[in-house]
Amino acid sequence: MSNRTAFVTGASRGIGRACALALAEAGYRVAVAARNVDKLEEVAAAIREKGGEAYAVPIDMASPDSIKDALGKTAKEFGTVDILVNNAAVTKDGLALRMKREDWDVVLQTNLSGAFFAIQQVLHGMMKSRWGRVINISSVVAEMGNPGQANYVASKAGLIGLTKSLAQEMASRGITVNAIAPGFIETDMTAVLSQEVRDNMLAHVPLKRMGRAEDIAAAVLFLASDGASYITGHVLDVNGGLYM
């Protein structure tokens, strides 16, 4: 078993859940965090069933206090967080012309500010141990834009800028900061799309399939590994060739 601890936000389902399971299988202790505690307990149970160590902790990424609290509890339970996977995100889609102020605010607060406050909470521990991995889950739309998602796209593009700035600040301390930009992935978020929309999306993907949550988890596992120690400030596209 690795003696390293990973903290995954938005871990109750989809990409976050897949990342948590993959990290646990690779031998990391994993703290799983999200708003839905019942679903988190299921993920933690799935990890323990396979002999892994898991800690479920509620978190609301729109609340700096909740983020501080969750990471404080994790530090007590598991010690320093060595790997942070900022995956939690919400969408409140709508055309910019009619977008409500609160729909703008909650998406930016959760997806971008929340990620930043989580990073702030783990940096001291990482600096002390002179080793750390921050992995921010951005999106292909951060790179190519998407109509009707000005708030979500701005939040995910902001994560890329944040990644590059922090990579420069933290490099001398042995901490790498990278982003992953998933394309169209089979999750609850994309399951609600009509067949017509899905077919239209797939027409633009050279690999002609939707991605799986496991495809993103594999990229997270790589960036968390010692094999990725010379990679920082990078945006890894996992999108089937949708954007290149």
- Within 10 angstroms of residue 148's Cβ, the number of other Cβ atoms is 13
pLDDT digits (tens, 9 = 90+) for 31-68: 999 999 999 999 999 999 999 999 999 999 999 999 99
Query: What's the angle, vertex CA 123, arms to CA 50 and CA 121, rounded to 5?
Result: 80
Average pLDDT over the chain, rounded to whole? 96
pLDDT digits (tens, 9 = 90+) for 59-104: 999 999 999 999 999 999 999 999 999 999 999 999 999 999 999 9
pLDDT of residue 64: 98
Q: What is the mean pLDDT of residues 102-113?
A: 98
Domains of the chain, start order: 5-185+213-237 (3.40.50.720)
DSSP assignments along the chain, one per residue: ----EEEEETTTSHHHHHHHHHHHHTT-EEEEEES-HHHHHHHHHHHHHTT--EEEEE--TT-HHHHHHHHHHHHHHH-S--EEEE-------B-GGG--HHHHHHHHIIIIIHHHHHHHHHHHHHHHHT-EEEEEE--HHHHH--TTBHHHHHHHHHHHHHHHHHHHHHGGGTEEEEEEEE-SB-SHHHHTS-HHHHHHHHTT-TT-S-B-HHHHHHHHHHHHSGGGTT--S-EEEESTTS--
pLDDT tier, 190 (very low <50, low <70, confident <90, very high otherwise)? confident
Residue type, 157: A
Strand partners, 133: 83, 176
Q: What is the mean pLDDT of residues 172-196?
A: 91
| pLDDT beyond 60 at 156 | yes
Nearest CA among 79, 168, 165, 186 for reference residue 115: 165
Q: What are phi and psi of 132, to 5 degrees?
A: -170, 155
Tell me how far apart the alpha carbons of residues 156 and 218 are, in angstroms, rounded to a whole number: 20
The verdict on whether 152 is a catalytic residue reads yes
Q: Which of 28, 55, 152, 243 is catalytic?
A: 152
pLDDT of residue 188: 80
Q: What is the mean pLDDT of residues 175-186?
A: 97
Tell me how far apart the alpha carbons of residues 239 and 35 are, in angstroms, rounded to a whole number: 27
pLDDT tier, 1 (very low <50, low <70, confident <90, very high otherwise)? low
